[in-house]
Structure formats: structure tokens, C-alpha cells
């Protein structure tokens, strides 16, 4: 299993390449992302750039998280795009690729996302809210070469992590 890369690794600030979801290498990458997410305490999402692969693929699973309202279970999307966003709210975020910091980031509280399912290439449209919406936007940002630190309001909204999972 690959290790999670941390900032300032160049892959984290590079726009990830769109992928062919039917490519067996992408299907294997999707499985690896889920496996790494599962063994990483507190992890609710992981994008390919976070393991050093410049590919627009990520997984999310907020099942059982206390901040989750809507949940779609564990899923992986390729080439995902936000097609609707509303109900913007600030919230605290952390990231495995920025292990020592958290920050307040304004994100949409309700989104509609469209992406492709690895393996089949089937188009998937998800409508979600609350914590799952935040997690999806965070992972889509990774694929766009952005970290949560790129979205905080300023230095006053960045904090030392107090709890390490």
C-alpha cells in the first residue's frame, strides 16, 4: 500500500489528470484508495493525489460520523465535478496531507456532484448535504490541486491540530 504524501509535495498542488474509469489500473487505484482510507483512523475520504498519483479519482465514506446527515456509504468517483452548490457555511477541516493543522473553510452545505464509477464508467449523480458535502468538496479540491489551506479566510483561521487520530 502506498503512503499518504504531505504538503508541500508537488502532486498536491497540481491539477490531476482526468482518467478512463474502465482502465484496470484506475479500478485498482480505486480499490487501493478505499483500503488506505479504511486503515487510516478518522479518515472519511482520500484522493489519488494524496498517495502521489496525479489522477482525478477519490473515495469518500462518512458512514457513522457524528456530523453526517446524508450518507451514501463508501463510494469512489472519477473525474467528479460539482454541478450545484448552495447553503454556504464555515466549518473546521483537517487533512491527512496536512497532519499538523486544521482550518475553518467555507463550503456549500448542499451540493450535487456528477462523476464516473470506476470499472463501469457509469455516470453517477449524488445530491448530498452537511458533512458528506464537505468531504466531497475537500476531495474534489485535491483533484484540482488545492488543499483546505488554499480556502481558509486567512492565517487567523488556521489552527494547530490538538488531537491526532
DSSP 81-150: EEEEEEEEEEEEEEETTEEEEEEEEEEEEEEEEEEE-TTT--EEEEEEEHHHHHHHHHHHHHHTT--GGG
**What's the pLDDT score for residue 1?**
87
pLDDT in tens, 84-118: 999 999 999 999 999 999 999 999 999 999 999 99
pLDDT band at 165 (very low <50, low <70, confident <90, very high): low
pLDDT in tens, 118-162: 999 999 999 999 999 999 999 999 999 999 999 998 899 999 988
Q: In this model, does residue 164 exceed pLDDT 70?
A: no
In percent, the amount of the chain with pLDDT more than 90 equals 94
Q: In this model, does residue 14 exceed pLDDT 80?
A: yes
Is 139 an active-site residue? yes
Element holding 39 (H helix, E strand)? helix 24-39
pLDDT in tens, 39-79: 999 899 999 999 999 999 999 999 999 999 999 999 999 99
Mean pLDDT of the 17-33 span: 98
* Binding positions for Fe cation: 95, 138, 142
Q: Please say whether the beta carbons of 98 and 164 come within 8 A.
A: no
pTM: 0.95
**What's the pLDDT score for residue 66?**
93
Amino acid at each position: 500500500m502506498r503512503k499518504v504524501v504531505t504538503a508541500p509535495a508537488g502532486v498536491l498542488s497540481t491539477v490531476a489528470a482526468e482518467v478512463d474509469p474502465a482502465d484496470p489500473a484506475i479500478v485498482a487505484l480505486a480499490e487501493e484508495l478505499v483500503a488506505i482510507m479504511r486503515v487510516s483512523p478518522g479518515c472519511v475520504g482520500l484522493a489519488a493525489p494524496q498517495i502521489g498519483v496525479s489522477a482525478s479519482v477519490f473515495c469518500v465514506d462518512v458512514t457513522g460520523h457524528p456530523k453526517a446527515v446524508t450518507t451514501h456509504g463508501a463510494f469512489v468517483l472519477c473525474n467528479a465535478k460539482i454541478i450545484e452548490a448552495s447553503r454556504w457555511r464555515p466549518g473546521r477541516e483537517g487533512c491527512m496531507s496536512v497532519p499538523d493543522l486544521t482550518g475553518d473553510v467555507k463550503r456549500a452545505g448542499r451540493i450535487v456532484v456528477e462523476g464516473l464509477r470506476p470499472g463501469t464508467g457509469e455516470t453517477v449523480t449524488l445530491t448530498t448535504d452537511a458533512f458528506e458535502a464537505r468531504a466531497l468538496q475537500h476531495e474534489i479540491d485535491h483533484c484540482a490541486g488545492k488543499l483546505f489551506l488554499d480556502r481558509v479566510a486567512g492565517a487567523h483561521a488556521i489552527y494547530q491540530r490538538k488531537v491526532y487520530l
